Amino acid sequence: MELPCWCFLMLSCLQSISAHNDFFTSIGQMTDLLYTEKDLVTSLKDYIKAEESKLDRLKKWADKLDSLSATATQDPEGFLGHPVNAFKLMKRLNTEWGDLESLVLSDTTDGFISNLTIQRQYFPTDEDQTGAAKALLRLQDTYRLDANTISKGNLPGVKHKSLMTVEDCYELGKIAYSEVDYYHTELWMAQALRQLDEGEESPLEKVTVLDYLSYAIYQQGEIERALEYTKRLLELDPEHQRANGNLKYFEFQLEKQRKAAKEEPQEQKEEVKVNQTEKKKKKSKKEFQLIPERKKYEMLCRGEGIRMTPRRQSRLFCRYYDNKHNPKYVLAPVKQQDEWDRPYIVRYLDIISDKEIEKVKQLAKPRLRRATISNPITGVLETAPYRISKRRATVHDPQTGKLTTAQYRVSKSAWLTGYDDPAIDVINQRIEDLTGLEMDTAEELQVANYGVGGQYEPHFDFGRKDEPDAFKELGTGNRIATWLFYMSDVAAGGATVFPDVGASVWPQKGSAVFWYNLFPSGEGDYSTRHAACPVLVGNKWVSNKWIHERGQEWRRPCGLNETD
């Protein structure tokens, strides 16, 4: 039997995204999925017309997704900027459409099933769904959001508010459970239970949620609370085999704890209390003296933390800048403002036009790949575990020296040169004119689009002394400076922060920030350790230029002192 013409249209549309994976690492590429889902809804509605016998159940599904897709495709990037929408998109395409396929296969059908089965190979994977879920959990921790706030869609700067269903909350809890993350398992199973208690309709039973919830609480050492939820589960299902076993075990453990508490001598109890008090005092002093980097990073992401003194602030200025009377800027100097004094960070305002931004994004989108890092020992590109943006982002691996895909960077990135478009040469020349540094030895322009909860954890741009082969394959020396364009505004989150000094630089479309990674002596400036905060709401596009030492000998002469 011949497939309808709409099948072939959708297949051709999907072929354009067939080469991509890791959808969750780039909001920009995830927009293709919205159009794919919209096409699937159209396909589904056509199928419903042909299969009257199953209209009731299928039509509800189609109408729901039709409405959602219509809203989403009016502003795809804004819609997917809401992390809940992005997670639900992953969940729908990876899980729920598969369930629908099973329903349709229960009867003799051809067109829609053939179409959907073929298209599933281009759908997000379990990795995408898990990645989107982990991103939501990361945002929850970094920005101190409770599960109910996220579930109700009450996030700052939200344009497309989206509510989470009981099944959504349950799915998040299950993913946390599979990662042996019992803290988040409890939070999201408790939220699922709360919504069920409030009367939300769901095919999910309270017994299933309570089973996960009681076990997650037990694993965190709270046996008494675990026992309470187990008893509640047994009220609903007295024959539940695992719950009956857990009930006996929890009661036994609690009784054991009570006996041990009674038998413990009073003097020993007092001695323990004294020791605990002393430890708390020591701990509080230590925490006051040295805040862990992770905590400082998260505080800065929330807009908290270190504040510059009024005296230091008074030394920061804004000005019109022509870089020592550069002919291009004598009559039309650029706006420059000081962001921080040590390290010295400056921002250039209105330095890249909307037209240029769209051109760069247009060139980058087909090239976006999962971020990688350069391994400083081997110089090879590898996947990096700590960056969540879309090449999935690349960083230098400290052991091998080669670029590798970053697992700590949730993003996808692409590299652009003047061979791709003359506009890139114009942008590179602008950076050279304003910094006075040679661009011939700089790395290509890297364009990054951050995904769901996209971030880049604290790192240095330059190679340290324990990384002797960093950038060896480039043959251009160390990274002397960094130039970073902000190509989008971000509704919430997404700041560039410097945890060691307490600086926070917030995205502002059309602006760029610049700082030196090395002192004039060639020694690394360790105060430039920085990070990209998770994007809470919105879509973050940046592009950066890493400028190297070679060619700067006469442009930035070497200093005589180590920190000059």
Q: Which residues neighbour 331 within 8 Å (Cβ) at sequence distance 6 or greater? A: none
Q: What is each CA distance from 206 to 163, 219, 225, 541, in whole angstroms?
A: 20, 20, 17, 42
Cα–Cα dist 62/31, whole Å: 20
Report, as an integer, the average pLDDT of 258-273.
69
User: Max alpha carbon distance in the chain (Å)?
Assistant: 86
pLDDT band at 374 (very low <50, low <70, confident <90, very high): low
Residue type, 519: F
pLDDT band at 261 (very low <50, low <70, confident <90, very high): confident
Above 80 in pLDDT, residue 357? yes
> Which among 487, 452, 490, 467 has a CA at the least distance from the CA of 395?
467
- On whether the CB atoms of residues 115 and 7 are closer than 8 A, the answer is yes
pLDDT given at position 393: 45
pLDDT given at position 1: 40
pLDDT given at position 406: 46
Q: Higher pLDDT residue, 474 or 411?
A: 474
Report, as an integer, the average pLDDT of 18-44.
71
Report, as an integer, the average pLDDT of 101-113.
70
pLDDT given at position 564: 66
Report, as an integer, the average pLDDT of 92-110.
77
- The model's pLDDT over 498-557, given as tens digits with 9 standing for 90+, comes to 999 999 999 999 999 999 999 999 999 999 999 999 999 999 999 999 999 999 999 998
Sign of the dihedral through C-alpha 133, 135, 138, 139: negative
- Most confident option among 88-92, 413-417, 450-454: 413-417
Above 70 in pLDDT, residue 86? yes
- The model's pLDDT over 300-313, given as tens digits with 9 standing for 90+, comes to 999 997 778 899 99
pLDDT given at position 139: 94
> Which among 550, 500, 503, 544 has a CA at the least distance from the CA of 522?
550
> Which among 298, 345, 225, 316 has a CA at the least distance from the CA of 458?
298
pLDDT given at position 364: 94
pLDDT given at position 106: 67
% of the chain residues with pLDDT over 70: 81
Above 90 in pLDDT, residue 466? no
Above 90 in pLDDT, residue 105? no
**Extended beta strands in 71-161, E state:** none
pLDDT given at position 187: 97
Cα–Cα dist 83/27, whole Å: 10
pLDDT band at 469 (very low <50, low <70, confident <90, very high): confident
- On whether the CB atoms of residues 214 and 195 are closer than 8 A, the answer is no
DSSP sequence for 433-479: HHH---STTSPPEEEEEE-TT--EEEE-SSPPTT-TTTTTTTTS-SE
Q: What is the DSSP letter of 556?
A: S
pLDDT given at position 234: 96
Sign of the dihedral through C-alpha 289, 291, 292, 293: negative
- The model's pLDDT over 32-48, given as tens digits with 9 standing for 90+, comes to 788 878 877 887 887 77
- The model's pLDDT over 187-222, given as tens digits with 9 standing for 90+, comes to 999 999 999 999 999 999 999 999 999 999 999 999
pLDDT given at position 410: 63
Above 80 in pLDDT, residue 376? no
pLDDT band at 399 (very low <50, low <70, confident <90, very high): very low
pLDDT given at position 345: 98
pLDDT given at position 427: 98
Least confident of 39-43, 260-264, 265-269, 295-299: 265-269
Residue 540: how many CA atoms within 13 Å on its side-chain side?
36
pLDDT given at position 7: 44
